Structure 1
Amino acid sequence: MASTLYVDQPSPVHRLNPVTKLVALLCIIVIVFAIPVWWAAAIVLVVVIVPAAVASRCGGRLARIGGQILLPIVLVLVIVQGLTFPGGETPVWQWGVLTVTSEGLVFALNIGARIICLVLASVLLVLTTHPGDLMSALTERGMSPKFSYIISSTLQLIPAFRDRADSILLAQQARGLTVPKNPVRRLPVLMPLLGPLVLGMFTDVEERSTAMEARGFGSTARRTSLVPVADSPAQRVARWIMPLIALAAIVVPLILEAL
């Protein structure tokens, strides 16, 4: 069975229907990108993502995984935009020919806040949603099993890739491979591992394709789920309200701009 980042916890966030969480994620993305100011993303982060992470008891793991993903992105964003933003006229820091402008930093803040919301909300979905439950919930609502499988398998891609890389590295070390602690010297040693890693992933694709055919994924008959995913009227109402809020986030700025 492919590994996932899913953390099994008896929390209200885990008990939500996977479709509800998927709709919430899509609406969060629309809202933070539709409102072109950093504080909108900050409000979504403080009001929605952080409380959900605390309620799901996954806050520590979310912070760790999110930090590993976001730290290099945000750092590069601040450096590049701070130094090269076109039209930057207010210098904040200067050293020789290098000048960091406030306009560049504000632009980096706006983009960075959106990326932070996008990454944290996505990781939280992965941590609190079992891929099998998501696939069953999407199939119950009429989505093609093939598309449901594509969405579900995406949640397993990174951990499966990581586990295979660890297995290959351990096998090579058992055969005498020495991995230096110095990151600069370690890179040339690890490069030959990319070949078996990529070929192994292609083998996985072929095996999964065969398994899908054996399970009748191409059938057009309506399927019955052996494990129905819990849902509630309140969640069904929320799945209508959240897109309306996202739509308002798109329309209201346009109206205000036109006025």
Structure 2
Amino acid sequence: MASTLYVDRESPVHRLNPVTKLVTLLTLIVVVFAIPFWWVAGIAVVAVIVPAAVVSGCGGRLAKLGFAILTPIILVLFIVQGLTFPGGKTALWEWGGIAITTEGLYFALGIGSRIICLVFASILFVLTTHPGDLLSALTERGMSPKFSYIISSTLQLIPAFQDRANGILLAQQARGLAIGKGLRGRVGAMMPLLAPLVLGMFTDVEERATAMEARGFGSTARRTALTPVPDTTAQRVFRWTMPVVAVAAIVLPIVTGAL
């Protein structure tokens, strides 16, 4: 059972320092949310995320996970905003007191494009970054090991949760748990999972805390990395440039009056 979504590949994207990818992800999110135009997020997806996914060899996995997460969100967003947007005046379709407006759909396009960029960029980061490498790279840059662990452990949260749920379900099926067909059957099967799943996660957290304490995880002494994460001067310069780009993306709409 996989404890992470990381896909092991020998690609240029995988070989990048995890801090470089994290800074790029954060900058991309700031840019698409700061500049109030949907096409900015579209350019980010087409010009940055798609080429990186192709080069990394994770395009198929990225598309599968991304569309599974985004499809219900985007559908609900367009339906709700198209029907209920308060500033909507131009009706594209009307039936009784219900109307889908151009303004509502355009607003949904702006929000939806940002969400799409955020989700795809985050998933690509998780697929191409090993949690251990991220923890080591952040610690090498002077970040607190505890805070570094919090960041890197989020990359393993969903797979670990899913693995535990699958293990509990298989164990209960071996003891005679019957799973019905259809949505009702799935909901009924979920109920016996909740208590052992939640309690198991609390137990797992306690065990990890004890193990880290025994290994001196809270020590303030400078640590020597057993397997240093490769880094280059070009990447370090790039990382220092990205905050400037993020600040410019925030200031530019204010100066130009685009907000």
**TM-score normalised by the shorter chain: which range applies?**
over 0.9
**Deviation at residue 246 of structure 1 after TM alignment:** 1.4
Unaligned runs of 5+ in 1: none
Q: How many residue pairs get matched?
A: 259
Whole-Å separation in 2 of the counterparts to 1:77 and 1:255: 30
Alpha-carbon distance in 2 for matches of 1:95, 1:191: 40
Amino acid at match of 1:65: L
Deviation at 1:10, TM superposition (A): 0.5
Paired position in structure 2 for 1:5: 5
1:26-47 Cα deviation digits (max 9, x unpaired): 0001000000110000011111
Query: Quick one: distance in 2 between partners of 1:156 and 1:82?
Result: 36
Partner Cα distance (1:133, 1:181) in 2? 42
Distance 1:94 1:9 in 2: 51
> Secondary structure at 1:179's aligned position in 2?
coil
Structure 1 position 18 matched with structure 2 position 18:
yes
Letter in 2 for 1:37: F
TM-score normalized by the length of structure 2: 0.97
CA distance in 2 between counterparts of 1:113 and 1:60 reads 20
2:211 is equivalent to residue 220 of structure 1:
no
- Residues 179 and 188, structure 2, Cα contact 8 Å, conserved in 1: no
Cα deviation code 1:34-78 (max 9, x no counterpart)? 001100000111110110000100000000001111111111111
1:215-239 per-residue CA deviation (whole Å, 9 max, x = no partner) reads 1111110000000000001101110
The residue type equivalent to 1:249 in the other structure is A
Deviates more, 1:94-103 or 1:118-127: 94-103
Tell me which residue corresponds to 1:146: 146
Matches of 2:170 and 2:188 in 1, distance apart? 17
Question: Percent identical across equivalent pairs?
Answer: 74
1:89 is aligned to: 89
* RMSD of aligned Cα (Å): 1.4
8 Å CA contact 2:92–2:99 kept in 1: the answer is yes
Residues 211-220 or 135-144, more deviating: 211-220
Kindly state the Cα deviation for residue 257 of structure 1 after the two structures are TM-superposed. 0.7
Amino acid across the alignment from 1:43: I
Distance apart, 1:184 and its partner CA: 2.6
| Aligned AA (1:55) | V
TM value normalised by structure 1? 0.97
Q: CA deviation at 1:188?
A: 2.2
Preserved CA contact (<8 Å) 2:78 2:108: yes
* Matching residue of 2:238: 238
How far the C-alpha of 1:2 sits from its partner, in A, is: 7.1
Instruction: Give distance in 1, aligned partners of 2:240 and 2:202.
Output: 39
**2:50 corresponds to 1:50:** yes
Aligned equivalent of 1:135: 135
Q: Note if 1:101 corresponds to 2:101.
A: yes
Q: Any conservation in 1 of the 2:2–2:163 contact (CA below 8 Å)?
A: no
Letter in 2 for 1:92: L
Q: How far off is 1:186 after superposition?
A: 2.1
Alpha-carbon distance between aligned partners in 1 of 2:249 and 2:38, rounded to the nearest angstrom:
14
Where does the alignment leave 5 or more consecutive residues of structure 2 unmatched?
none
Partners in 2 of 1:168 and 1:200 — Cα distance?
10
The question of whether the paired residues in 2 share the 8 Å contact of 1:2 and 1:156 is answered with no
Structure 1 outlier segments of 4+, above 6 Å: none
Aligned partner of residue 166 in structure 1, secondary structure: helix
Question: Once the two structures are superposed, what CA deviation does each residue of 1:113-167 show, in whole Å capped at 9, x if it has no partner?
Answer: 0001111100000000000000000000100100010001010000000000000
